[in-house]
Amino acid sequence: MKTIQAYRFALDLTPGQERDVLAHAGAARVAHNWALAWVKAVMDQRAAERTYGVPDDRLTPAASWSLPALRKAWNAAKPVVAPWWAQCSKEAFNTGLDALARALKNWSDSRSGKRAGRRVGFPRFKSRRRTIPSVRFTTGAIRVEPDRMHVVLPRLGRLKLHESARKLARRLDNDTARILSATVRRDGGRWHVAFCVEVERAERTPARTDSVVGVDVGIKYLAVLSTGELVDNPRHLVAAQQRMRQLGRALSRKSGPDRRTGRRPSNRWQRAANRLGRMHARVANLRRDGLHKLTTRLAREHGTIVVEDLNVTGMLANRRLARHIADAGLAEIRRQLAYKTSWNGGRLVVADRWYPSSKTCSGCGTVKAKLALSEREYHCEACGLDIDRDRNAAANLAALAAEYDTAGSGPVAARGAIRKTQLAGREASKREPGTASAGRTGTVPLQGGTADRVLAKAHEKVTVVWS
């Protein structure tokens, strides 16, 4: 099975090598800003001509936003715009032009409705001080040295790694991997190189192929499994909050940059900003490490994993919980499970965000009409079940996957679910059509129709991501 995978390694650059990398990143920024100014000038000129009543066939020719067109325009203008262009690799300029071409396409597709998700704004100019230095190489000499502690990149030469690249080197030696590109980027005060590699992965199967586990993510516990396991939330950001406040107060006392007066930051301000950035990077690395260990273990052990389609963006609107939700990385768990289940031969089932996993009783299937967030214990008035709210949700997610025989049936649409809480298919099939649950408070009565129609609605509430 061929797949695209990234290998990221920290670098130990000499001062001269760091200057060369910064020069290449600056060249990418210059090419990006020049091309953006050129595109904006053409767009503004055409808009002004329209206000003068100039017909469309006589307007200034539109500038193409494709990467080949931007590269052609840059090659014609670079002797004047950047007479030093020969000192940097052509890949540096291509990095900035490619980023602009992607940004313009995303903006255009977002305006026309072709791109789903949040609205994308028009590209902005890159600042020398606020932009993260980065340069990507797609051609030329890109290789890992035999000692596995050095890499070779075009124009930058031989760079020392902070850690061994043996995992990537083994695949390259066995002809099971092919490097597509290499990106050098400064993150958290340290330089990294990331290789985009086409990898030939061996077919694998989970340790327990028939195992089905429901995963309910949250804040108190990072994940509650239907097996009864509770994965603690390490809360890395909360643990580092006191130190971050100290570093932030120290930074505020230094003489920082001022765009109004043109004042440049002092050296002490820069050192304090670097200390704060390293602290943020440490928190991010700790969070990433914990999430990778959790998702890898789940993907290797269980054949079917069921998660919810959470609206994390909407959850972040809660000002009381936004910091804790962001610190948990709920969306990252699902993203990692999506590709790790395919790597390990498993299956990921995504329940619709309107599926009432917390409101449904895992014992009898009764659905509550309302369940406050403060109610951490689920009490079923129908069967008398008392269970932790998160364990109940995880059990319902696992049962949801067990009810569907998806072998050979392909994906099941997830957007058919409605926002109104309905009875679970197991409980609805036991009752007469068009009747409510007699003597059971807190449940939602059926709105007419047969039990088969209710069960069909429940079938619309999952998406199956195949390996």
Count of CB atoms situated within 10 Å of the CB of 215: 27
**Cα–Cα distance for residue pair 46/40, rounded to 1 Å:** 10
**Would you kindly state where each structural domain of the chain is located, as residue ranges?**
2-10+138-200, 16-112, 208-350
Return all residues near 398 (Cβ < 8 A) that are at least 6 apart.
212, 213, 214, 226, 306
pLDDT grade, residue 403 (50/70/90)?
low
pLDDT at site 89: 94
- Arithmetic mean of pLDDT, 381-400: 89
**Phi, psi torsion values for 245, nearest 5 degrees:** -65, -40
pLDDT grade, residue 185 (50/70/90)?
very high
pLDDT grade, residue 376 (50/70/90)?
confident
pLDDT grade, residue 409 (50/70/90)?
very low
CB–CB of 129/25 below 8 Å? no
The helices-and-strands tally (H runs, E runs) of the chain is 13, 15
**Cα–Cα distance for residue pair 161/155, rounded to 1 Å:** 17
pLDDT at site 353: 82
Taking 80 as the threshold, does the pLDDT of residue 449 lie above it? no
pLDDT digits (tens, 9 = 90+) for 41-99: 999 999 999 999 999 888 999 889 899 999 999 999 999 999 999 999 999 999 999 99
Q: Which residues are catalytic?
A: 216, 308, 390
